[in-house]
Structure 1
Amino acid sequence: MRPLVPVALSILSGIVVSDQLGFSYGPVLAGLSLSIIALVLAYAFRLGFSRLAVLPVFFFTGALLVLPHSSPEFPPGHILNRVQSEDTEAARIGHAIEGRVLEIELVGKRSRILVEVERYREGEEWEASGGKALLTVNGRTDLKPGDRVRTFAMLGEPRTFGNPGEFDYRRWLGKRGIFVTGFIKSERLIEITAESSGGPLNVHGMRDRIGRFIESSGLKHRDSLKALIISGQGGIDKELKDAFASTGTAHILSISGLHVGMVAAFCYGLFLLLMKRSETLLLAVPAKKAALALSAAPVIFYGMLAGFPVPTQRAVIMALAFLLSFALGRGKDYLNTLALAAIIVMALAPYSVWDASFQLSFAAMASIIILVPRMRSYLEGIGKKEKDEGQKTLKAHSIAFLKKRAAPLVLVTVAAGIGTSPVLAWHFNRVSIVGLAANLVVVPLSGIVVPSLFVSAALLPFSEALALIPLKIADLVFNIMAGAARIFSSIPYASSWVSPPPLHEIALFYALIICALRLEWRRARLPVIALAVLLLASYGARGFFNERAPGKLTVTFLSVGQGDASFIEFPDGATMLVDGGGLNNPDFDTGERVIAPFLRSKGIRNIDYMLLSHAQHDHMGGLPFIAENFRVNEFWWNGRGDLGRLGTVLEERGVQARVVNASTPEISVGGATVGILHPAEGMEGLDLNEASVIMKVSYGEESFLFTGDIGKSEPLLSGPALASTVLKVPHHGSRNSSSAGFLAAAAPEIAVVSTARLNSFGFPHKEALERYSALGVRVMRTDLGGAIVVTTGGKGVEARQYLTGSGP
């Protein structure tokens, strides 16, 4: 009997349904009250009381738990209200706030500081405030959780770029109660008004000492080792992270249920070994139960050393639930124990159900619990004939050895891989082909690294010399792990990028696996065939409907911040990517984080033409990743400047590169005409901006003009060739672009501005916008409404913005 499983599923359903349907407090409280009343009456009057009758209570409990996160209410002094009330100029200047540091995370070369805001400066007066603000500052910081700080930051509401397929960062933060983000220009603007004591155990001091000890060791993989004991991946080399990601072993690099489980298993074995050496202890207490109980403290301590980030909190709760279950003699009811852990996590942090780490942890554990016993029963049939006949052949011995020693690890790895693959595809759009083999090598090795690091941390307060011994062991074994990950990742097609599967396909996949492995084949045959046919049909239909509608040309002006990127889908399905954006942030790859998710959301893997208007970072920064991970047939550019990494990738991939100019002949693509208007031959004296490739795409009576960053060279362009329906505004709408003469020649109906919100350049400039307004041109901006999608069948255009769904 597993009473907690339906309870956990009911709470989960309540959380999801409440969030998706936008429940409010009134209906939820009414539903909860009526459910309790009905339950009490049914029990009191013995009206056929059933255990299922309690499930609505838990459903509405789940709905109630998530309301503060899905439907938050902000008091007048909340920092969000302060920020929203400011005008644009005030937002540019910045805000003075005071508060308490909650969390600190190193992300690349920047630090993220989560602050509980307590006061806000209004003019010369400080006023009470509240709410959380996630602040970013360049470099590392010496702040500790619990410190009270005063700082000056550029604050605003968190925003997404606003593109199809994009990770909704704003929603993700909102689920955690964070509605304001900000940037601190310098760490010197942070003043510590009161330092944290670190608590009775001074955990922050211990974490700091461990970090400095590992850093000073000079070991090769010190950044990775720090991530596995005090958390944080900020210092791990990107190439190494990519190697682990492509082999399906990226979970090794961040503290999760696997690592906490390793610490629990190591400590349990150690305590049991020590207790068995004492006859007095063995007679006094049950050794196994005592070892389980004692292992709880090291598990909690490991979580404290990791800084107790949310994923680690979940892992510790799960480990403690299983330790408690085993200690109470209920250890074999694995699903019930897993449900108990899920209930605790959802009660403490209901927003966790949307986290990839939550879904991966529970999917992996549930798959192991459900699938491994069935797979083991299939395995038992292998070699049964030789065993029954009492044969003692080499074959029989080999089979018995493999079943006893190797099979458990293989089965657990296979089950976890099956359970997590849809979640990985959904969140990360990536499936590793070599994941099973890589995990079979890497996971056992991590079982040496993690306990070694834990022992090193435990020995450090007593002797650095002793602590260095297990630390060196951890570094040595991690070096082998890293080498294995690199070898597996070097295998051709080691991983595959995929489009995120829809939820119904994920449900069909899990139903198919459960039917195939949990039911007898005679009973499972028809359900398995039916589910497999449905899954394949859905996948095929998805590929069909992702195709372009015939006879339509669609241009998507992507929102990439201060930069340009546009994607053209021609009537015959051919594609062209024009520029690739690029931010002034080395930790953010526009190609990886914005353009690639957009392309995958449309099921696109091949790009027929890639055009770079000019070789500047805000136009080409995202193109190397795209060229590396998508099949590009041709690359066009003006031949000026340095392509850098993009040039290297194009050469390695064997992509045909063409230098284009006004003399390049027009081409026809799916009934549309593509022509290059600029630069003309003999204009070598122009700078990069003014030498931008200007391309015109015409289809029927409509046309699109892509202008790069031209400005002063606009007078060189004239004539009817410039006439266009849709104009990509030159140079993000700078003051010196979009001259009256140029606009008169282009005569667009719609002008698209690609720029960042509240950018430091002041784009689009007021004077440029006034010139468009004077001509009655409808202006659409990526900074205000996200991506802009314009579609035409050759006569008339339809334009809408992704975030608002509205036209100009």
Structure 2
Amino acid sequence: MKSRPLFWTALFLIMGITLGYFININIYILIVLLVFFITCGTFCWLKNYEKYSRVVIVITVILTGLFLVEFEEAKYNSKWSIADWNGNGEKVVLGEVVLDLAALEGNKIYLKPLYVNGHRVKYGLIQLDQRYIKEDLVNGDIVRVYLVLQTPYRQTNPGSFSQYKYLFKKGVFSKGYVTGPVSKTYFKKHPVKKIIISLKRQLIKNIDSNLISPYNEVIKALTLGEKSNLPREWDRWFSQAGANHLLAISGLHVGFIVIMLLTIVKIFKLPTGWQNFFITLFLVIYIIMTGFRSSVFRAGILSLVFLWAPYFNREADFFNTLGLAAILNLVINPLSLFMVGFQLTYLVLIFIILWSGILKKYLGNIVAVSGAALLGSSPIISYYFNIITPIGILTNIWAIPLAGLVVSMSMIGLILGLVHPVFSLVIFRLFVYYLLRLLGTGMKFMALLPFDIEVPQPPLFILLAIYSVLIYLPFLLKTRYIPYNIKRQKMKLKWAGVLVTCLIVMMVLMGIFPSQLEIIFFDVGQGDAIIINLPDGHHIMVDGGGWLTKSSTRADKVLLPYLRDRGIKKIDIVFITHFDADHALGVLTILKNREVGLLCIPEVDKNSTLCQKILAVAFKKDIPVHIVKKGDYFKSGSVFLKIFNSGTKGSLYSRNDNSIVLKLSYGKFDLLLTGDAGKKVEYNLMRSGQLLKSEVLKLAHHGSEDSSSSLFLKKVLPEDVIISVGPNKYGHPSPSVLNRVQNIRARVWRTDKQGAIVINTNGREYEIKSFLQQN
């Protein structure tokens, strides 16, 4: 700690922030503890108690990290927080417009509320969609607006995205929906930000006027961090080729820019101090212009320290400077520690420093750096995005120099364009355009190579263990010359080998040992989607949910992320209970993106448009299709599925009443799945003498009045009932149905209120929890 105090301070600050994120401590207790240890530290320093001083400093830094996180939580829960006004109808908000410099071309703008319904508000931003605002708003406008405020949506399904957590880390506590005109009342001046916004808009205009789409959007992403309009195919090519980092403004881009600036200032033969001043000014403007991204901020701090250190006859230490950047980053926003951008920018740089020298002995310089970056980024990318792209090593050999040339030429074009537009025109149309075409063609080719590997999300403790080993190994592999050190080194290498072996064995055993039967009822709004994970490792899906937006299904945003997260690449059986869109549409997404062993559909309604689309995909992918009939029987290990109802050809029943009804049995546990079947089907099931008694019942038709009769509920006599439902205009679930369930004293679980419902059973006892309860 003595040799690199800032680096160690950053580590202990990170430790404190991490503790604060996972455990709650009263902020007033933390303040008292901080005052106490600061007083103790001052006393130890005055008395020269060096040994005790270090311990007190470490504790104080950890407590500071805890305090920073708890302060963010305290702001959210404060009576002056905008979060306190979420829900409960329309509000009149007086606030200041804040533009997002990281995404100036995006649809989102922010409102810093000052008053809500006449009450003072101090904490939190409101996110607005400017596509629904007629007025032209600029940064600093004080506006009076009518809004419906809502809490950003939380993660309600395993593997899905939490908008609430994402926005909370950015200081956004509410989403606002404009319900009336926006009136400007005042303008608050921010002269520096105004100049930088104006400059960025001018640069964007320059790019748009000199390059055609999509090349203008790619350059805006590469140089200014504007990815809002980046074509999806370019994003996909870079991602699959293992070079997605090139599209996100990072330390690499700052490195290109610094090299370009050093070359330019040396041409003018300015004194060193003036050279450094101009580069510093440029980097500060660039950091602000790109929205204070962690990667740009980190690279900017490192560049400035290494730039100015020789001027003051000092030697810059890499790890100490890295610690300084991290401390500043975290003091500005402690929650940025839990953003993937922050984690990647620091981890990748550390791995390049630790591993490139070792790998260089066996590989070339460029390959060694690319390999070290891949080694540092792969675990964290697999954790967040469920993918590893080894092809990235080869891609980056040629892509990094080419991207560097593109960025450098573009920045020169943008700078000279401020002098006269003709300079930009020449550089962009004669050089940048053709370089971009070459870059795009290369990425498209590399993306076609089948080297991207989809992986399940590793447990957090495994991830931490992997990074611990990978960071520790370079110190063990360092060349030693003293015999005693060599002996110790060999012993440490043996222990490292044992640890790696244990990690591999643990990961293998986690995949081999049979688990319990797991049944997940996903929160897919007004629809049904169920995945059943069998103890023998097979997987069954019943329905796939419906539309989410005009262009995406619930399966895109809920089921596929879950399957990737769990590493499930094959669904052995997919059941479609009936062909209503809220049940069957998402199955299309699954058929297109996953291997399916067998598709089971009901007897009737095979001529519907949706059914024909599903069957066409099944035919194209050679997926066997089975038309189920009443009495069909499926078995996998100790799990049995029996079809109680599947509709009858020529039946006068409605589509809902022709739903597949099936019963799952595993030991003493039974689950009855009823699709959208109505009271007619329930009556026929009771009359047929089927053994309906089940521990858990999925209420038919989202709790509709047309289903779940009192007689049927008494016949099934479930201990728990599950209602898969979302916001709807039909009044589901019906109050009378809820009363009937209450009469049989069954517990009610609702996906709209509790998120995904998860059942685990060993065939004797079962446990049922909501995802929100678990998280």
Give the TM-score category using the shorter length: 0.7 to 0.9
Stretch of structure 1 that moved more, 167-176 or 11-20: 167-176
2:152 corresponds in structure 1 to: 158
Partner of residue 385, structure 1: none
Match of 1:666 among 633, 647, 665: 633
Mapped contact 1:579–1:610 kept (Cα < 8 A)? yes
The partner residue of 2:525 within 558, 561, 565 is 561
Question: Is 1:579 aligned with 2:543?
Answer: yes
Match of 1:610 in 2: 574
Q: Which residue of 2 aligns with 1:131?
A: 123
Match of 2:446 in 1: 488
Say which of 478, 484, 506 aligns to 1:541.
Answer: 506
Question: What secondary structure sits across from 2:663 in the alignment?
Answer: strand
The number of aligned residues is 753
SS in 1 for 2:139: coil
* Cα distance in structure 2, aligned partners of 1:331 and 1:262: 23
SS in 2 for 1:804: helix
Q: Does the C-alpha gap of structure 1 residues 327 and 435 become closer, same or farther in structure 2, counting only changes over 3 Å?
A: farther
- CA 1:562/1:475 → structure 2, altered by over 3 Å: closer, same or farther? farther
Match among 332, 347, 367 for residue 363 of structure 1: 347
Deviation at 1:646?
6.4
Q: Structure 1 residues 168 and 533 mapped into 2: Cα distance closer, same or farther (>3 Å)?
A: farther
Structure 1 residue 798 and structure 2 residue 767: aligned?
Answer: yes
Letter in 1 for 2:46: A
User: What's the counterpart of residue 6 of structure 1?
Assistant: 8
Find the residue that maps to 2:523 and give its secondary structure.
coil
Instruction: Tell me what 2:377 maps to.
Output: 420
1:601 and 1:480, CA in 2 relative to 1: closer, same or farther beyond 3 A? same
Of 114, 118, 127, which aligns to 2:114?
118
Contact 1:694–1:708 (CA under 8 A) maintained in structure 2: yes
CA contact (8 A) 1:102 1:114 kept: yes
* 1:255 maps to 2:249: yes
Alignment check: 8 A CA contact 1:4 1:340 kept: yes
Give how far 1:682 is off: 0.9
- Once structures 1 and 2 are overlaid, which stretch shifts more, 253-262 or 25-34? 25-34
Give the whole-Å Cα distance in 1 for the aligned partners of 2:497 and 2:590.
33
1:620 Cα offset (Å): 4.7
SS at match of 1:695: strand
Where does residue 732 of structure 2 map in the other structure?
763
| Counterpart-to-counterpart distance in 2, 1:140 and 1:262 | 39
Secondary structure, in 3 states, of the residue corresponding to 1:607?
A: strand
Distance 1:79 1:777 in 2: 38
Tell whether 2:489 aligns with 1:497: no
Whole-angstrom CA distance in 2 between matches of 1:667 and 1:302: 62
User: Counterpart of 2:399?
Assistant: 442
Alignment check: 8 A CA contact 1:449 1:475 kept: no
1:695 aligns with 2:662: yes
Most deviating of 408-417 and 51-60: 51-60
Q: Which residue is 1:278 aligned to?
A: none
Say which is worse superposed, 412-421 or 588-597, in terms of deviation.
588-597
Q: Is 1:463 the counterpart of 2:427 in the alignment? A: no
Q: Is the CA contact 1:613–1:693 (under 8 Å) kept in the aligned structure 2?
A: yes
- Deviation sequence 1:118-160 (CA, Å, 0-9, x none): 2223xxxx43334324435384875443333344443222332
Taking the TM superposition and a 5 Å limit, the aligned residue runs for 1:616-765 are: 616-620=580-584, 622-623=586-587, 626-627=590-591, 630-638=594-602, 639=606, 640-642=608-610, 650=618, 654-663=621-630, 665-683=632-650, 689=656, 691-711=658-678, 714=681, 717-719=684-686, 720-721=689-690, 723-740=693-710, 743=713, 746-756=716-726, 758=727, 762-765=731-734
Contact preservation (8 Å) 1:166, 1:594? yes
Percent of aligned pairs with the same residue? 25
**1:219 and 2:218 correspond:** no
Corresponding residue number in structure 2 for 1:99: 95
Structure 1: gaps of 5 or more residues: 276-280, 380-402
State the one-letter code of the partner of 1:509: V
Match of 1:246 in 2: 240
Once the 2 structures are TM-superposed, how far is the Cα of residue 751 of structure 1 from its aligned partner? Answer: 1.6
User: Alignment partner of 1:296: what SS?
Assistant: helix
CA distance in 1, matches of 2:79, 2:616: 54
TM-superposed deviation, 1:229: 3.5
Does the 8 A contact of 1:614 with 1:688 survive in 2? Answer: yes
Q: Which residue of the other structure, out of 489, 493, 497, is the alignment partner of 1:532? A: 497
Distance 1:149 1:236 in 2: 31
Q: Give the superposed CA RMSD.
A: 3.6
State the Cα distance separating 1:334 from its structure 2 match.
1.6
Amino acid in structure 2 at the alignment position of 1:412: V
Task: Report what 1:43 is aligned to.
Answer: 45
Q: Which residue of 2 aligns with 1:479?
A: 437
Distance 2:649 2:105 in 1: 43
What residue identity is the alignment partner of 2:526? Q
Provide the secondary structure at the position in 1 that maps to 2:229: coil
1:208 to 194, 201, 212: 201
Whole-Å separation in 2 of the counterparts to 1:353 and 1:432: 24
Are the counterparts in 2 of residues 118 and 130 from structure 1 also a CA contact under 8 Å? yes
Q: Rate the CA distance shift 1:273–1:68 in 2: closer, same or farther, 3 A.
A: same
1:773 is matched with which residue? 742
Instruction: Provide the secondary structure at the position in 1 that maps to 2:610.
Output: coil
Tell me the equivalent position of 1:352.
336
- Secondary structure (helix, strand or coil) at the match of 2:741 reads helix
> Which region of structure 1 is more displaced relative to structure 2, 601-610 or 333-342?
601-610
Q: Note if contact 2:214-2:231 (Cα within 8 Å) is conserved in structure 1.
A: no
Contact 1:108 1:235 in 2 (8 A): no
After TM superposition, give the deviation of residue 781 of structure 1 in Å. 0.8
Counterpart CA distance in 2 for 1:512 and 1:637 is 54
Q: Residue 612 of structure 1 contacts residue 620 of structure 1 at CA under 8 Å; is this kept in 2?
A: yes
2-structure distance, mates of 1:441, 1:548: 44
Instruction: Between 44-53 and 225-234, report the one with greater CA deviation.
Output: 44-53
Query: Cα distance, 1:776 vs. partner?
Result: 3.2
Change (3 A) 1:480 1:732: farther
Q: Which moved more, 1:736-745 or 1:689-698?
A: 736-745
Change in Cα spacing, 1:460 to 1:489, as seen in structure 2 (3 Å) is same
2:23 is the counterpart of 1:59: no
Structure 2, unaligned stretches of length 5 or more? 481-485
1: CA distance, partners of 2:594 / 2:479 = 41
Summarize deviations over 1:463-489 as a string: whole Å, max 9, x none. Answer: 333323333333432332222222222
Q: Which residue of 1 aligns with 2:483?
A: none
**2:340 corresponds to which letter in structure 1?**
A
Q: Matches of 2:6 and 2:108 in 1, distance apart? A: 38
Q: Residue 443 of structure 1: CA displacement?
A: 1.7
Shift of 1:363: 0.8
Residue in 2 that maps onto 1:273: 267
1:81 aligns with 2:49: no
Distance 1:257 1:48 in 2: 38
Letter in 1 for 2:493: V
For residue 783 of structure 1, what is the amino acid of its counterpart? Answer: D
1:442 is displaced (CA, Å) by 1.9
Can you list the C-alpha shifts for 1:13-50, whole angstroms capped at 9, x where unaligned? Answer: 22222332323334433443343333333333333557
Q: Tell me the SS of whatever aligns to 1:160.
A: coil
Which TM-score applies when normalising by structure 1?
0.83
Assess if the C-alpha contact under 8 Å between 1:227 and 1:255 holds in 2. yes
Tell me, in whole angstroms, the C-alpha distance in 1 between the residues paired with 2:564 and 2:625. Answer: 26
TM-superposed deviation, 1:350: 1.4
| TM score, norm. by length of structure 2 | 0.87
CA 714–150 in structure 1, closer or farther in 2 if over 3 Å, else same: farther
Counterpart-to-counterpart distance in 2, 1:56 and 1:20: 18
Residue 277 of structure 2 is aligned to residue 300 of structure 1: no
**Post-superposition offset of 1:434:** 0.8
> Could you list the per-position Cα deviations for residues 436-493 of structure 1 after superposition, in whole angstroms to 9, with x for gaps in the alignment?
1112222222112222332333344443333233333334323322222222221124
AA partner of residue 507 (structure 2): R
1:198-225 C-alpha deviation (Å, 9 max, x unpaired): 7355333333344344445433322222
Superposed displacement of residue 710, structure 1 = 4.1
**Correspondence 1:429 to 2:422:** no
Q: Distance in 2 between matches of 1:189 and 1:675?
A: 58
- Residue 307 of structure 1 deviates from its aligned partner by 4.2
After superposition, what is the alpha-carbon deviation per residue over 1:749-790, rounded to whole angstroms, capped at 9, x for unaligned? 32211223x556543233432333344332101222222122
**Aligned-partner Cα distance in 1 for 2:731–2:383:** 38
Match of 2:168 in 1: 174
